[in-house]
Amino acid sequence: MPLHSAGLEVLVELSSRECPIHTHIVSCNHEVAPTLSTILKDLLSFDNGTRIDVVDYVQLENTQASSHLDIVASIMEAPGVTNWDDNPRPRLLSALSIPSKPKGLGACSLSLPADMLQTSVYPVAGKGENARPEWLSCLSPMGAITAPHKDYHGSSQVMYHISGEKLWMLWPPTPNNLLWYGKRRDRTSTTNRTVEAIREMEGMTVLHVKDPIGFSLPPYGIHAVITFSASSHAGIRVWGYDWIDEAFPAIINEIEWAGNAASNRIPASDGIEILQDILAELKNWDRLLKEKGMHGRADYASQLLAEARKKAHAKVSALTKQVSNVRIGNAAGEKY
Ligand SMILES: O=C(O)CCC(=O)C(=O)O
Ligand SMILES: [Fe+2]
């Protein structure tokens, strides 16, 4: 199995070095302990028309085509597959962002620690009395290997491991690590990127999870994951004052990266799209200032937010001009 050898390479690489344990452990409370069946309930309560991000680790592509039952079947079948080159190719499907439903994970009342709640905001599902943290969960089959990546544009995340056995590898968003990531991002690679990340990035920590545990990832925290047995976990985005020193330099870094599309070998239109996503996510910091504005760092956060917004808008205008110049150039070319 190709994934087997890729996983083995990662484990051999890890075994050759010191791997400090990830220390950002977060105590999440719940009224009812979430289980694998809680997450299956969430997955199966959606009709097939609902878009849930699904990745096939054999074909290494995002696939929206599979039904929710295909995911369950793949999770059940994965341990028994002997030939991953068979025709048709077996699939190894993970569901990456399953929204919690009131009768599924919502009923567990999984919450963030009180001190974090005082200084941060997070997405909320439902209204009034039914309002609850909007956790998204993830179901992965045995053998899934998620390459190093970052999620979103500047929120930190709290993860809560629910079931199964996994190894998380985590890298802090240092300038060197962001540079490494920016160079490799969005490019398909035939090399083992997790091994490269272990060798080339700085400050890696690891977390081997088997029992339920909560932990946090900083904004732009880069992470890779190996799943040893069918697993489930939930995650939630968090915007808080404790994270602004890490979040804003990395947001500016990504704005520069997307804004300098040509030198980073991405199409200008993709650069604009990424900048628009960043601008949309910046609104969550407005929410923080509005809902928790009495904090001692509110003015500072507001200043960082204004600077990031200004820079993103300037880059969008510059890239938009580039795109329209190319269009005018092409039109002229067609004419003559
Ligand atoms: O569990 C995995 O394979 C990937 C999980 C992940 O990257 C996430 O939840 O953000
Ligand atoms: Fe992720």
Q: Of the residues 186, 214, 240, which one is the last residue of a structural domain?
A: 240
d(CA 187, CA 173): 20
* Same-domain pairing of 256 and 300: yes
Find the 144 Cα to ligand 2 centroid distance in Å.
Answer: 13
Segments of 117-221 assigned E as strands: 120-121, 124-125, 132-133, 136-140, 145-149, 156-171, 205-209, 213-217
252 and 294 inside one domain: yes
pLDDT digits (tens, 9 = 90+) for 205-229: 999 999 999 999 999 999 999 999 9
For residue 94, give the ligand 1 atom closest to its CA: 3
For residues 215 and 298, state if they share a domain: no
What's the number of CA atoms in the CB half-sphere (13 Å) around residue 252? 14
Q: Which ligand is nearest to the CA of 138?
A: 1
Fill in the amino acid letter for 314.
A
Please name which of 1, 185, 198, 209 lies closest in space to residue 92, comparing C-alpha atoms: 1
- Whole-number pLDDT of residue 166: 97
Give residue ranges with CB within 6 A of ligand 1.
94, 138, 140, 144, 146, 151, 223, 225, 227, 235
Q: How far apart are CA 137 and CA 15, in angstroms?
A: 30
Based on the domain organization, do 202 and 323 belong to the same domain? no
Q: Ligand 1 centroid vs 116 CA: distance in angstroms?
A: 22
Looking at the fold, whether 23 and 40 belong to one and the same domain comes out as: yes
* Residues lying with their CB under 5 A of ligand 2, a single-atom ion: 151
* CATH code, domain carrying 14: 2.60.120.650
**Per-position pLDDT tens, the chain of length 336:** 467 888 999 999 999 999 999 999 999 999 999 999 999 999 998 766 677 888 888 776 666 556 788 899 999 999 888 888 788 888 899 999 999 999 999 999 999 998 898 999 999 988 888 888 999 999 999 999 999 999 999 999 999 999 999 999 999 999 999 999 988 776 666 788 999 999 999 999 999 999 999 999 999 999 999 999 999 999 999 999 999 999 999 999 999 999 998 888 889 999 999 999 999 999 999 999 999 989 999 999 999 999 999 999 999 999 998 887 766 665 544 433
Among 209, 240, 271, the domain-final residue is: 240
Residue nearest to atom 10 of ligand 1 (CA): 151
Same domain, 228 and 259: no
One domain for residues 231 and 255: no
- Domain holding 271, by residue range, is 242-335
Closest protein CA for atom 1 of ligand 1: 225
- pLDDT given at position 12: 96
Neighbours of 108 (CB within 10 A): 22
Same domain, residue pair 49 and 157? yes
Domain boundary among 240, 259, 294: 240
Q: Is residue 303 domain-shared with residue 192, that is, in the same domain?
A: no
CA distance 272 to 189: 24
User: Is residue 64 classed as helix, strand or coil in its secondary structure?
Assistant: coil
pTM: 0.92
- Determine the straight-line distance between the first and last CA of the chain, rounded to whole angstroms: 56
Mutate to test the pocket of ligand 1, among 166, 223, 227, 231 (most ligand atoms within 8 A of CB): 223
Whether residue 258 sits in one domain with residue 143: no
- Ligand nearest the Cα of residue 209 is 1
Provide the domain count of the chain. 2
**191 and 297 assigned to the same domain:** no
* CB-neighbour burial class of residue 213 (10 A; exposed 0-12, middle 13-18, buried 19+): middle
- Are both 34 and 175 inside the same structural domain? yes
| Cα–Cα distance measured from residue 128 to residue 131, given in angstroms and rounded to the nearest whole number | 5
